[in-house]
Chains A and B, each alone.
Chain A
Amino acid sequence: GNSVTQMEGPVTLSEEAFLTINCTYTATGYPSLFWYVQYPGEGLQLLLKATKADDKGSNKGFEATYRKETTSFHLEKGSVQVSDSAVYFCALPLNQAGTALIFGKGTTLSVSS
């Protein structure tokens, strides 16, 4: 099956700082790639996704580019806000045939004002 490795945290930043959370994967074929976010006290929700090589997913100022050559899908944001404090998970399908996901261990981001 597929696997994912995600940068471990916690990551502590000041407001307006630049954010990068690294994610690399191994997979059969060219799976869709996802970033999910879990805000305090809330359920997991999809942040962004990319479905093919060189696609860029974006949402709420976050971006991630599907890099086939480096098997990476790093999450970036140019200027983080306090409200971005959450746990971020990189994910992809467990295997080529299915839709269930395998998740990274998660990266906790804390942003202070």
Chain B
Amino acid sequence: EAGVAQSPRYKIIEKRQSVAFWCNPISGHATLYWYQQILGQGPKLLIQFQNNGVVDDSQLPKDRFSAERLKGVDSTLKIQPAKLEDSAVYLCASSTVRGRNTEAFFGQGTRLTVV
């Protein structure tokens, strides 16, 4: 079974530029998450989708971050404009159905450096 695919693996941009990340979840997984992992910290949820609807985006900085999951499969996360503090690894994860014991499967992440 193929895992969660993310691209690109690495991205370096200047502050105030825009950037987009792509995620392809495991086939059949209805739930998709985007997490931000700053160096030395644990992942922090940005947004959760159930199919193509948003379940939780309370921690997404909506003035500069946006995400979509058209057709309930692939997802993109965009930052515009980027700030220095956005330097982090952006992780995509997916899971089957909502439930307290559900395991989430993570991609390898996109490492973003803002200079």
- Collect the chain B residues with CB atoms within 8 Å of residue A42's CB: 108
Residue ID in chain B nearest A98 by CB atoms: B56
Partner of B100, one of A43, A44, A99: A99
A101 touches B103 (CB 8 A): no
Q: Does A105 contact B (CB under 8 A)?
A: yes
| B contact residues around A12 at 8 Å (CB) | none
Q: Does A94 contact B (CB under 8 A)?
A: yes
Instruction: For the complex, count residues of A whose C-beta is within 8 A of B.
Output: 24
| Total cross-chain contacts (CB, 8 A) | 64
Q: Is the CB of B101 within 8 A of A103?
A: no
Known: A98-B55, A100-B33. A44 touches B43 (CB 8 A): yes
| A residues 57-101 touching B (CB-CB < 8 Å) | 89, 91, 93-94, 98-101
Q: Is the CB of A100 within 8 A of B106?
A: no
- Which residues of A have CB within 8 Å of B95? 99
Interface residues in B93-115 by Cβ distance below 8 A to A read 93, 95, 98-109
Q: Are A103 and B42 in contact (CB-based, < 8 A)?
A: yes
Whose C-beta in chain B lies nearest to the C-beta of A103? B42
Interface residues in B2-57 (C-beta closer than 8 Å to A): 3-4, 31, 33, 40-45, 48, 55-56
CB distance from A105 to the nearest CB of B (A): 5
CA A42 – CA B109 in complex, angstroms? Answer: 9
21 CB contacts below 8 A, A to B, read A6-B42, A32-B100, A43-B107, A44-B91, A44-B106, A45-B106, A46-B103, A51-B100, A89-B42, A91-B42, A93-B100, A98-B48, A98-B55, A98-B98, A99-B48, A100-B55, A101-B45, A102-B42, A105-B41, A106-B40, A106-B42
